[in-house]
Amino acid sequence: MTEPLIPRPGPDEYDPYYQPYLDRVPDGNVIELLEYQIGDTLGLLGGLREEQAGFRYEPEKWSIREVIGHLADVERVLTYRAFRFSRADQTPLPGFEEDDYIAHSNYHERPLLEVFAEFEHARAASLAFYRSLAPEMLTRSGVANQAEMSVRAVPWVLAGHERHHVAVLQQRYLARL
């Protein structure tokens, strides 16, 4: 089966806040990218010892485990938004405070591979959802955090969001271990 093509969204399909994420995503098949990039991220972090996974480059910053937990949280929240929008649900959705989500999680206490497995499962669920969409569902949109967003913008944002955090992990965390 050929992967569905989800065209790159136009700038009117998402909040400008997300532009730096979309700038990180090359043209091509975003579904394939989402599938492959999680393996790349696991490869980057798979050899860490548990004590390294607790590293924070500054005391108030998230640990490596919490960064991966954050990726899982964002995967769930944004894909839920896309799900609602794909079903033509026009109920405005609230934003979420990522620091509060991490503060009230237990990601930092859990084994890194367990947290990573959670992210992998969230991504697998997202991929199944995006693969199920009919073309007309991709152009539907809704409001989240007081900004309009199309269904097709979400996987592109997720791909760029992960790329952003992988770069942060490489530059601010792994380079200091």
In a domain, 77, yes or no: yes
Rounded Cα distance, 33 and 25, in Å:
9
Q: Is residue 5 part of a domain?
A: no
Residue 109 lies in a domain: yes
> Does residue 172 belong to any structural domain of this protein?
yes
Residue 2: what pLDDT?
Answer: 54
Residue 92 pLDDT: 98
Q: Is residue 2 part of a domain?
A: no
- Please list the pLDDT of the chain residue by residue as tens digits (177 residues): 455 689 999 999 999 999 999 999 999 999 999 999 999 999 999 899 999 999 999 999 999 999 999 999 999 999 999 999 999 999 999 999 999 999 999 999 999 999 999 999 999 999 999 999 999 999 999 999 999 999 999 999 999 999 999 999 999 999 999
Q: Give every CB contact of residue 76 below 8 A, 6+ residues apart in sequence.
A: 122
66 occurs within a structural domain: yes
Domain count, the chain: 1
What string of DSSP letters covers 10-66? PGGGS-GGGHHHHHTSPSS-HHHHHHHHHHHHHHHHTT--HHHHT--SSTTSPPHHH
Q: What residue numbers bound the domain in which 159 lies?
A: 26-176
Q: What is the pTM of this model?
A: 0.96
Domain assignment present for 15: no
CATH value at residue 113: 1.20.120.450
Residue 161 lies in a domain: yes
DSSP string, 138-164: HT-EEEETTEEEETTHHHHHHHHHHHH
